[in-house]
Structure 1
């Protein structure tokens, strides 16, 4: 067979069932959901599906989210949709690498831009980091995922996990911070010397400080956030 033939290309790239269950990594950057009832996913992350699946954007008041988030949720950073029905659903987000985590009565905070999908058994709550809302364009959202089930998150390139211990706080760039353990509550600090040294916008000097016992996941890339439109 010609190594560059269409037949050979299809053979090398076609979808193959691996029998891994609800979430299956078809490629490092494409998630297959074997849908039987419901899955939550990032709005706009659907690339293909087959079967009978209905998509619906998350309601503003769903799960107790107050009306104060209405404007903020019009931005893509923390917008979710629910897919209901039966079939196979394929999700991706700008070619980012996908990480599947199985929570076992645990909690994890995920940057709103880096949450791809999660099982309906996972409770989620969208939070706006009010302290940085005035300092960064559009503020910074995170989603607290808690319970038992699968969560799929994304990262640009290969993520790095840093351990946080009581005697070893970790400071990160908010734009490069993907997720952190549910036991940690980051503080925000401004480094004026860093701001003057690199000569960038005001958001660049804001840092997240993690203290306690847990972990934080960072990526070798600075995500940019758009201000939500009214």
Structure 2
């Protein structure tokens, strides 16, 4: 059979994390270290690979998931408890795993003891050596995106982030402000000062679509960068303004 379709064969390589194409991640497992991946993100694999649910703070306690006042919660939290910030599975064994999610664009980041804040829904995979904790943005309960599921990641290891389309990285310099639609922000340098504010004085600002307002935006100041995707989340649920 002849077709350009058949040109998209699996690439060879022994890199632990590599891109098969801009929307498909290839992970090489050597039988020693595990990889944490978004639940359900496996689209294909070779070799002897096991996929198991992730319910603990991490292998041998190396990962942590906590807020300022609360430790890691079970997969089915009781009423009033914060649900797990990441829905992950363990990938272990020997072979190659291919990961993807809704054909989103993928970006491999190597953390070397830096701190990076990412919205949890944009994380595809990460090394078990990376640590994280939930962070709160004042007033963030009003919006469905970064306000509810922001994680500060630290340590050393590889992190794979997803964006809907190719992102825009906005540098932030001391003494200057950068503003971005809260529904389009993927992540930012953790050292930045972040504030949530309405883009309009209209009390219906939380209803970003269907009004003349743009809704909520985040302002950043300090020294670092902000990652913005060319897409916005679905409208958040209506919540009362206080």
Query: Which residue of structure 2 lines up, in the alignment, with residue 24 of structure 1?
Result: 18
> Please, which runs of 5 or more residues in structure 1 have no aligned partner?
none
Give CA deviations for 1:111-140 in whole Å, capped at 9, x if unaligned. 11111111122112244546322x124852
| Secondary structure at 2:139 match in 1 | helix
Distance in structure 2 (CA, Å) of the matches to 1:198 and 1:150:
35
Aligned residue in 2 for 1:13:
8
Structure 1: how far apart are the matches of 2:138 and 2:95? Answer: 39
Closer/same/farther in 2, CA of residues 193 and 22 from structure 1, 3 Å limit: same
Could you tell me which residue of structure 2 aligns to residue 51 of structure 1? 47
Correspondent of 1:160 among 160, 163, 168 = 168
1:177 aligns with 2:190: no
Paired position in structure 1 for 2:35: 39
Counterpart in the other structure of 1:208: 218
- 1:94 matched residue in structure 2: 102
Normalising by structure 2, what TM-score?
0.77
Structure-2 residue corresponding to 1:220: 230
Q: Distance in 1 between matches of 2:144 and 2:219?
A: 20
Deviates more, 1:61-70 or 1:179-188: 61-70
CA pair 131-55 structure 1, distance change in 2 beyond 3 A: farther
Higher helix share: 1
- Structure 1 contact 78–142 (Cα < 8 Å) conserved: no
Q: 1:84 to 1:126 in 2, by over 3 A?
A: farther
Partner of 1:136: 143
Q: Which residue of 2 aligns with 1:81?
A: 89
Uncovered stretches (5+) of structure 2, i.e. residues with no partner: 59-63, 238-242
Distance 1:123 1:61, change over 3 A: closer
- 1:109 CA drift (Å): 1.0
Contact 2:116/2:152, CA 8 A, preserved across alignment: yes
